[in-house]
Chains A and B, each alone.
Chain A
Amino acid sequence: MLDDFMVRAALAGIGVAFAAAPLGCFVVWRRMAYFGDATAHAAILGVALSLAFSMSIFVGTMTVALLMALVVNVLSGRGYAMDTLLGVLAHSALAFGLVAVSFISGVRIDLMAYLFGDILAVSRVDLSVIWGGAAVVVALIGWRWSALLTSTLNEDLAYASGINPKREQLVLTIALAITVAVAIKVVGVLLIAAMLIIPAAAARPLSRTPEGMAVAAGLIGMLSAIIGLRAAYVFDTPAGPSIVCVAAVTFLATSVLRGFRHER
């Protein structure tokens, strides 16, 4: 069964959607959308470094994504607005990454594959990395769920309950770095944030509890992966963007659904 590249692609997409759903909910609730983007852009530098030092792409991107996240954590609240800081770091990391790639001679790399992903070329090894990473992310978020939710609602409430919101923020950051590293093959750097945010946003009108929203986001993400791949096959369109398009259409549908009963 795993011999079929379409089956491998579908499993890869489902794996990413699985990890991105609960994480994406927190990204939406905490208004960290740009943070996901920034981490993803920095991953290109990771790709360049892994090629230069011939280590695995996964390790390289994850290291850079983690570093990026830690730097943002440390620098935030020191005289720059968060979006400025993220803008500076994300785009400089992307630029340095692109420059670094050009120095690597002898290796021909398909930059487009990293920018847009190449889900149809997912190997068995990739698949195990994706599912391994997804399992770690979901386990991490599941384990810290209540603490994360409390700190998302209010940091002082968290402190009063004996939770350190700074530590929970770090947990989210690490999960984000893993997700970016895992998803780079599937949807690419430019569309990772889409897989985080769109299914979660589409799930919002359907949900009454945070847990419900995470589950709904997971289902929407997985369905988008499956339908998107099918559409890519039928219409001969690029696979990663097709998945995101399906998710976006779902978002539109649930928003319209809500729009009328919820004026604001």
Chain B
Amino acid sequence: MSLVQVEDLSVRYGARTVLSRVSLRVEPGEIVTIVGPNGSGKTSLLRAIIGAVKPFQGRVVRGSGVKIGYVPQKLHVDETLPITVSRFLKLPRGVAVADIDHALAQAGVPDLAKAQLSKLSGGQFQRVLLARALIGKPDLLLLDEATQGLDQRGSASFYQQIETVRQNTGCAVLMISHELHVVMSASDRVICLNGHVCCEGTPAVVASAPEYRALFGSGTGGALALYRHEHDHGHDHGDHNHDHSEAAE
């Protein structure tokens, strides 16, 4: 049975509809990526799944006993708040020290337990957030543009880490990403979102769909070509993401 099932979901902020009649499901163990232009409701979709926004219509059903680990888009820790990584990982419920060490190792940052959160680099921070999401042994990981602010190398290695985590724990991953070449290589399934689900399917199917091409333009050719190669080299694809100058997410 599905880990999470979104049925006919609409979300509104005031009079503005950001999502209309979106349905999707995530099955155990798969990596599903959501792509879409700015303002297409990607973040709102994830926030609806974790319960941070109320559906205007439709519903979100979690499988019984399904645990979700959430990695937010960005997290600013105020300089005035002193907190170590290990204390952060214990929130909101206490966790055994062994579990903290294990989660940090899984996330690829085994030595950071005693570091201050506000002193971490961008890449370290994202991995600590990943560790926090992993600590509850989730069945489903939700990642909201987890590599924002990382350079190409950093984000490639972050996604490799996700892949490794999936292999080791068998958890499913639902993520938002702007990095089309990574998306296309690392996902089992891609959902193209623009207020509604434009198209979905395997990366190859989505990349050749006319709806997807209409949103992302001819740059998709490059992404698809890369998909057929290995995913870990350093071509710069620039920004395929056309800014639709809608309201910010």
User: Are both chains from one complex?
Assistant: yes
A residues with CB within 8 A of B: 28-29, 31, 146-147, 149-150, 152-163, 201, 204, 207-210, 212-213, 264
**Residue of A153, A160, A209, A212 ringed by the most chain B CB atoms within 10 A:** A160
Chain B interface mostly: loop
Task: Select one of B75, B83, B84 contacting A154, CB under 8 A.
Answer: B75
Bound-state Cα–Cα, A234 to B68, Å: 61
Instruction: Map CB proximity to A onto B32-54 as digits: 1 under 8 Å, 0 otherwise.
Output: 00000000000000010011100
Q: Which residues from chain A contact B84 at a C-beta distance below 8 Å?
A: 208-209
In the assembled complex, how far is the CB of residue A160 from the closest CB belonging to chain B, in whole angstroms?
Answer: 4
User: Residue on A with the closest CB to B117?
Assistant: A153
| A161 engages B82 (CB within 8 Å) | no
| B47 engages A153 (CB within 8 Å) | no
| A152 engages B75 (CB within 8 Å) | no
User: Residue on B with the closest CB to A200?
Assistant: B80
> 3 shortest A-B CB distances, which residue pairs?
A160-B70, A159-B52, A146-B92
- Given that A155-B52, A156-B50, A156-B72 are known contacts, is A163 also in contact with B80, CB under 8 Å in the complex? no
- Given that A149-B92, A150-B92, A163-B92 are known contacts, is A204 also in contact with B82, CB under 8 Å in the complex? yes
In the assembled complex, how far is the CB of residue B113 from the closest CB belonging to chain A, in whole angstroms?
Answer: 12
Task: Select one of B50, B68, B81 contacting A210, CB under 8 A.
Answer: B81
Which residues between 129 and 181 of chain B lie within 8 Å of chain A, taking CB atoms?
132, 142
In the assembled complex, how far is the CB of residue A162 from the closest CB belonging to chain B, in whole angstroms?
Answer: 8
- 6 A–B pairs (Cβ distance < 8 Å), ordered by A: A29-B81, A153-B88, A154-B75, A156-B72, A160-B51, A162-B51
* Number of residues from B at the complex interface, CB < 8 A: 25
| B93 engages A213 (CB within 8 Å) | no
Bound-state Cα–Cα, A28 to B51, Å: 28
| B87 engages A209 (CB within 8 Å) | yes
**Residue of A149, A154, A156 ringed by the most chain B CB atoms within 10 A:** A156
| B78 engages A29 (CB within 8 Å) | yes
Task: Select one of B80, B88, B92 contacting A28, CB under 8 A.
Answer: B80
| B72 engages A146 (CB within 8 Å) | no
Bound-state Cα–Cα, A160 to B75, Å: 14
| B72 engages A154 (CB within 8 Å) | yes
User: Residue on A with the closest CB to B82?
Assistant: A207
Q: Which residues from chain A contact B88 at a C-beta distance below 8 Å?
A: 153
| A156 engages B91 (CB within 8 Å) | no
Bound-state Cα–Cα, A212 to B87, Å: 12
Bound-state Cα–Cα, A213 to B79, Å: 13
- Given that A146-B93, A153-B75, A155-B52 are known contacts, is A160 also in contact with B68, CB under 8 Å in the complex? yes
Q: Which residues from chain B contact A150 at a C-beta distance below 8 Å?
A: 91-92
Q: Which residues from chain A contact B68 at a C-beta distance below 8 Å?
A: 160
Let me know if B116 is at the binding interface, CB within 8 A. yes
| B52 engages A147 (CB within 8 Å) | no
Instruction: Map CB proximity to A onto B195-218 as digits: 1 under 8 Å, 0 otherwise.
Output: 000000000000000000000000
